[in-house]
Structure 1
Amino acid sequence: MTTATRALLLMGSILLFANAYAQDRLSGVLKNELQREFTQLKAADKNVYYMSYRVDDIVSYRVTASFGVINSIDSNRVRIFTPTVRVGSYQFDNTHNMQSGGAPGTLPIVENEDILKLSIWKSTDMAYKNAAQIYEQLLTNKKVRVAEEDTAADFSNARREVYFDAPLNYKALKPDLDKVAAALKKITQVFKQNPDLLQGGANFEFKITRKYFVDTDGSDIVENGTETWQSIFGNTKAADGMELPLYKLYFAYMPSGLPAGDSVLADVSGMSVKLSALKNSPLADPFVGPAILSGRAAGVFFHEIFGHRLEGKRMKNEFDGQTFKNKIGTEVLPAFLSIAMDPTTKNVSGSQVNGYYKFDDEGVAAQKVAVVEEGILRNFLMTRTPINGVSGSNGHARTAPGGIPESRQSNLVVTGKSEKTFSELRDMLIAECKKQGKQYGYLFQDVQGGFTNVGRTTPNAFNVLPTEVYKIYTDDKPDELVRGVDLIGTPLSMFKHITACSNTTETFNGMCGSGSGWVPVSASSPAIFVDVIETQKKSKSSERLPVLPRPDLDKQ
């Protein structure tokens, strides 16, 4: 390629960028208004040292169905505006110990610059007043409190980023909602045929997001994103009142990436059969012994029990348990396991994953972070808020629209070297059961989620919520589906009992609601064998089964 050709290509790129930028009036308004208001606020209060504007412009399409009937078809659009005003200095400001002072609002869906500026001005003024008030309170508190454990600054510098995705063609992206509705109606008709079910439905949601970020450091970012969710779910109830739900989520970036209708119908039929089996399955007793967690179950386990303890910003808070804060360079997992957080990938082992983004919510480029290498802790998930011993963001500041960015997970990927087939893991389970004098061990096949405590004032325990659990017996007795099992424990103890993993990876896509609100995440992991786990009985309702039959069944 000649120098002249390179120059022409560069000029073409610049013109294309400038043309796209000119088409997006909101981007220009945000940039200009940020500079105007920062200049004026700084003149009024010398302690104002940084500002940013964030907008999430979201278009959503939704279809819901139940028992062969369409419940709703709707769409909406909203622009959520989040101003950030930092008062104080990089070392100490209004965000200290996770305080803030924001004032999120909405922007009208118009192109009129005067109307947009008015809305931006109102929210910014409120954000400044809140930030200034909190800063003054923090200065007062600082005089009467003991020295803090973490002396790192409240904010750090970041590289200036300029990035601009082309304006979206909303008309071309709009899904065929009538076609979607027909598919969901057909899918949920299968649930209607099962008299054991109290609920049998399906949801579809396609979301188009255009995210804007500008700050006084010069970053100027506009990033597009799409996500598609389709879920199927059913619910039955045992005679003792226990609610028994099953769920299956399908994720793709575009509706065309969802599985074919026949595949979903097969999943619905299987779920319906399984729900009837669950209704009549035995209630499990509390148990201590060996178990296998499927790849999906293990992914949720690592997300809940391990991942949240790597979120750096929460370690500024002295009420946090700070499980791993001083353990970088030490062994925290078995040596055959490694974990990375990778928001830069859209696929893991052939599955589309939900935690992808180009820039985080502080305008920092997404980065793959090797948090554990062969069992050794190497890094935390960092925002622009440093902690003692770790400074500089690695692109993991995330929040729901309107929230305050915190350290959050993205795409968690577990890899292992002690790889075995599932059959070999099963053999290990049976051998360990015999060694411990147990008649059976557990297989956790699927889960709906989980939660964990990370504070100092409560036990640092976890609870993973399985939906499909089997007893695997040491004799020739067939595997037995059971209900009422919750997987519980404490993290440091549990990690020591992971002894092997499988040679295949499964992915759990979902939304995490910790800290700064709901953000898209995924967790991919091989199945793991644990020589000791603990379970407890699941809570249950005291309500009887419905006295009246379902209306559609009463007609038959």
Structure 2
Amino acid sequence: MQKNKFLIIIFLIFLTSLKSLFSANDEDILMAMRDEIKRSMKSLQLESLKKPYFIEYKLRLREAGKVVASLGKVLESDNTKFAQLTVDLRIGDYNFDNTNFFDVGLSFFGSSDDEESFKNRRVQYEQDYNTLRRELWLATDAAYKQASEIYTKKESTLKGRMRRDTTPDFIQVTPQKNYQKKEYPNFDFKYFENVAKELSGVFLKYPSIHRSQVGFEFIPETVYYVNSEGMEYIKTEYQTGLEVAAFAQANDGMPLSDYYTAFSLAPQDLPNADSLKRGTEIMAATFSKILDAPFLEEPYSGPVIFEGAAAAEVWAQVFMPNLVAQRSQLSEGGIQQPNRFQAFQTKIGGRVLPEFMSVEAKPNIEKHASTKLIGTYDLDESGIKPQDVKLVENGYLRNLLSERVPTRRVKSSNGHRRGGGAMLSNMIVTTDKTNTAELKDLKNRMMMLCKDRELPFGVIVRKTSNQNMIFTTLFKLSMGGLGFARGDGAMNLLNAYKVYPDGSEELIRGAEVAGISPQTFKDIIMASNRQFVYNYLSPSVISPFMTGGDQYVGASIVTPDLLFEDMEIKTPDEDFRKPPVLSNPISAK
């Protein structure tokens, strides 16, 4: 009896401490979600149509602090607050429901022109019980009507067909409750304004650079989540970034760009101001040299070394996205719509890398050596705690990153739902000692291969294009004049060098590599014994047009330098806009 009293006291203390983690307003938000889910699960049904078997509510309260500067002047400094509500509703059962079916009209235009939105629905930032109940009611109604329409079409499409793939549409999990709300770290606008002015002022010394911009951004958010299974969470996440971008034209009109980035979770974890300035100065000085550098007169086919950030970008753009489990979508014609990055969906057990290389996802580690990682998180978007996953072991594919939507080969979630679908986290590339050496040994091996093939030089790449920078900052900065590599497996080589037998290097401009595929990584013949940590914004693998999720998600890659046995590098054969007639006026100051 005494023992039972003690346990009750401990339980009451736990409840009290749990309640203290969030405010009365947090209680109102969760209660509104619970009550509307309960009502909808019990009563939401149109005649002759099914009730929902699963409802998920997610409310995101987000801020965006931003500082932008150019040529020593602050152009923008503000903080905006906004809130988004997303409803995910499923009709049928876990085996067969309205999802994993693509209908062009419904997916892009909805079921009617005046339909209420239910994905990323803008709602007021300050919420109370009644206001949120009303928004949940309207969004749930719209989600139910569209889900019913899709379910009917999917059922009709498969009627009379022999289903070869009977994989369930959704995975059942054990519900958990996690409340991890915390204070946002301080984003000191005055400090970042001063740093932005100092970094952007670096470009005053380089009149050959036509346009430049420095931007700091801090995006914190609190997410409230409740589903009909009993899963609940409140979590606080934040991300901080610096993006320095530059654009210019060479004398022959070739458009060129360069960038420097730094990302962290909390603002105080960014490198200090002196370090950021050094990085900006190195980028600006190198870029000004590139403008006067020669370009490749003829295409190059031979061994290539990707160093540091360039090695990480090759993984990020070509290989890593294929490690995400994806469910192909059916359409009305009964044909499965192909998705991007499908190379490894049926390759589990097969060799995808050299046998001396392995890849593991480690979302639970906060740093590698002394560098903090931004692919770290405590809960995925479904409320599931992430697992470390051995993806490639000694060259062979063992698993894929997954969420609650199963595939033929991946039947369970390992907690990687981020940005609307399964997504990357902290991706760690490791090698054994058999084909690992000092960077100088990679260069020596490359030159031996060049000699065997009677090539006058090899190529080292130290920086490539970055998709986030291309399609956001750089495209806008160049006013649409930015040239970028097109085609599968193509990317611009921003810092590339010819390497001659005597060890000397010559900078080249405008080069691009074409035709890199996941299979190309089998041709890695050596890796260095040093590890480079790369934090970046990764484009969502599964299209946000399908999921309603984020376009970019913070991720990290840890990789050695890589020596590929053979790659194709060329200069684009196209006409360019004429450069400005007069010189940059800042050169006259």
* TM-score, normalized by the shorter chain, greater than 0.5: yes
In structure 2, relative to structure 1, the CA distance for the partners of 1:483 and 1:6 (3 Å cut) is: farther
- Give the Cα separation in 2 of the matches to 1:247 and 1:56: 31
RMSD: 2.6
State the alpha-carbon separation in 2 of the partners of residues 295 and 266 from structure 1: 17
Does residue 87 of the first structure (1) align with residue 88 of the second (2)? no
Name the structure 2 match of 1:489: 515
Partner of 2:308: 295
Question: Which one is further off, 330-339 or 93-102?
Answer: 93-102
Determine the C-alpha separation between the residues in 2 that align with 1:243 and 1:271: 17
Which AA in structure 2 matches 1:26? I
Q: Distance in 2 between matches of 1:176 and 1:371?
A: 40
After superposition, give the CA deviation of every residue in 1:431-460 in whole Å (9 maximum; x if it has no partner). Answer: 111111111111110123259xxxxxxx99
The aligned counterpart of 2:50 is 46
In 2: Cα distance, 1:279 partner to 1:305 partner: 28
Could you say which residue in structure 2 is the equivalent of 1:355? 375
- 1:8–1:471 distance in 2 versus 1, CA, 3 Å: farther
Pairing 1:519–2:559 present? no
Greater Cα offset, 492-501 or 63-72: 492-501
Cα displacement (A) at 1:333: 0.9
Match of 1:455 in 2: none
1:205–1:189 distance in 2 versus 1, CA, 3 Å: same
Whether 1:163 and 2:184 are equivalent positions in the alignment is no
Q: For 2:253, what is the secondary structure of its paired residue?
A: coil
Distance 1:253 1:178 in 2: 19
Question: With structure 2 as the length reference, what TM-score do the two structures score?
Answer: 0.85
- Correspondent of 1:462 among 489, 499, 524: 489
Distance 1:540 1:8, change over 3 A: farther
Shift of 1:318: 4.8
CA drift at 1:492 = 4.9
- Contact 2:511 / 2:572 at 8 angstroms: preserved in 1? yes
Unaligned segments of structure 1, at least 5 residues:
400-404, 452-458
Shift of 1:118: 1.2
Moved more, 197-206 or 234-243: 234-243
Partner of 2:292: 280
Q: 1:19 to 1:39 in 2, by over 3 A?
A: farther
1:175 aligns with 2:187: yes
Which secondary structure state, in structure 2, belongs to the residue aligned with residue 313 of structure 1?
coil
Q: Which amino acid aligns with 1:118?
A: R
Change (3 A) 1:140 1:232: same
Is residue 416 of structure 2 the alignment partner of residue 396 of structure 1?
yes
Question: Compared with structure 1, are the counterparts of its residues 300 and 314 closer, same or farther at alpha carbon in structure 2 (3 Å cutoff)?
Answer: farther
The 3 A distance-change label for structure 1 pair 86 and 203 is same
User: Which of 322, 328, 352 is the matching residue for 1:332?
Assistant: 352
SS at 1:312 equivalent: coil
Task: Provide the residue aligned with 2:30 in structure 1.
Answer: 27
Counterpart contact for 1:349–1:505, Cα < 8 Å:
no
State the partner residue of 1:368: 388
Task: Give the superposition deviation at 1:10.
Answer: 5.7
Paired residues, number:
537
Partner of 1:456: none
Aligned to 1:71: 75
What letter is aligned with 1:368? D
Q: CA deviation at 1:428?
A: 0.9
Match for 1:383 among 392, 397, 403?
403
Secondary structure in 2 aligned to 1:185? helix
**Structure 1 counterpart of 2:20, which letter?**
N
**Mapped partners of 1:31, 1:169: distance in 2:** 25
1:537 counterpart letter in structure 2:
T
Provide the residue aligned with 1:346 in structure 2.
366
Tell me the residue number matched to 2:571.
Answer: 537
Which segment is superposed worse, 93-102 or 347-356?
A: 93-102
Residue 407 to residue 434, structure 1, CA distance change in 2 (3 Å): same
| Post-superposition offset of 1:70 | 0.5
Query: Is the 8 Å Cα contact of residues 255 and 576 (structure 2) preserved in structure 1?
Result: no
Q: Which amino acid aligns with 1:354?
A: I
Shift of 1:365: 1.7
1:319 aligns with 2:338: yes
8 Å CA contact retained: 1:92, 1:153: yes
Question: Which letter does structure 2 place at the counterpart of 1:275?
Answer: F
Structure 1 residue 488: deviation in Å?
A: 2.2
Partner of 1:454: none
Q: Distance in 1 between matches of 2:572 and 2:32?
A: 53
Is the CA contact (8 Å cut-off) linking 1:460 and 1:491 kept in structure 2?
Answer: no
SS at match of 2:278: helix
SS state at 1:231 partner: strand
Taking the aligned partners of 2:535 and 2:575, their CA distance within structure 1 comes to 28
Aligned to 2:134: 118
Q: 1:149 to 1:214 in 2, by over 3 A?
A: same
Contact residue 367 and residue 373 of structure 2 kept, 8 A? yes
* Unaligned ranges ≥5, structure 2: 111-116, 330-335, 469-485, 545-550
- Would the aligned equivalents of 2:66 and 2:78 in 1 still touch at CA under 8 Å? yes
For residues 407 and 169 of structure 1, do their structure 2 counterparts lie closer, same or farther at Cα, with a shift above 3 Å needed?
Answer: closer
Q: Distance in 1 between the 2:163 and 2:321 partners? A: 22
Q: Superposition pairs for residues 410-449 of structure 1, below 5 Å? A: 410-417=425-432, 418-449=435-466
CA distance in 1, matches of 2:135, 2:7: 43
